[in-house]
Amino acid sequence: MNTFKEDLEVGVSVENILLERIQKKYPCATLINKFKGYDIWIPEKHQSLEVKSDQKSNHTGNMVVEIEMYDKPSGLMCTTADWWVFYDGAVFVKIKPMEIVRCIFDNKLVHTEFVGNGDTKAKKAFLIKKDILFKYGVEFH
C-alpha cells in the first residue's frame, strides 16, 4: 500500500506529464501549486484543469470522485476547474464537472464513505465505473 507522500509524488508527476503535453500547443500553460481550485492553468484558452490520477482504477474498475472531506464540501462539490482530467495510467480523459454530475444522476449513483490513504477521517465520494465515467468525456491527446 502506498503512503500519502508516495501518492502525492505520483499525482505531481502525472500533472507534469500532462502539462508537458499541453505546452506543446499552449506554451504558456502552467502548473498552479498551493491552490485548491485547479492544478493547471492554460492562459491561451482561459481554461483550468483539475488532474486526477487513479491508477488503482485498473484493478477496482472505479474512479474516485470526492464530494466531502472533514464535514465540508470538497472535490466535485467545490471545484472551480473548467475540466477534470482523469488518468488511469494509460489514458488521459477530460470531462467537464457538470458532465460528471450528469453521469452520477444518469446512473443513479450513491456516494460511499471511506478513509483514504493518509487521511484520519472518512471522506464521501462516488466510486464511478471507469467505462461509464469516460463516456462523458473525451480522450486528451
| Model confidence pLDDT, tens digit, residues 39-87 | 999 999 999 999 999 888 999 999 999 999 999 999 999 999 999 999 9
Which pLDDT value is given to residue 24?
97
Which pLDDT value is given to residue 6?
55
**Domains of the chain as residue ranges with CATH:** 4-139 (3.40.1350)
Section 88-104 average pLDDT = 97
Cβ-based burial of 34 (10 A; exposed 0-12, middle 13-18, buried ≥19): exposed
Look at residue 1 and tell me whether its pLDDT is greater than 90: no
Phi, psi at residue 47, to the nearest 5°?
Answer: -130, 150
Q: Report the DSSP beta bridge partners of residue 16.
A: none
Expressed in angstroms, the distance from the first to the final Cα of the chain is 30
Look at residue 118 and tell me whether its pLDDT is greater than 80: no
Which pLDDT value is given to residue 37?
83
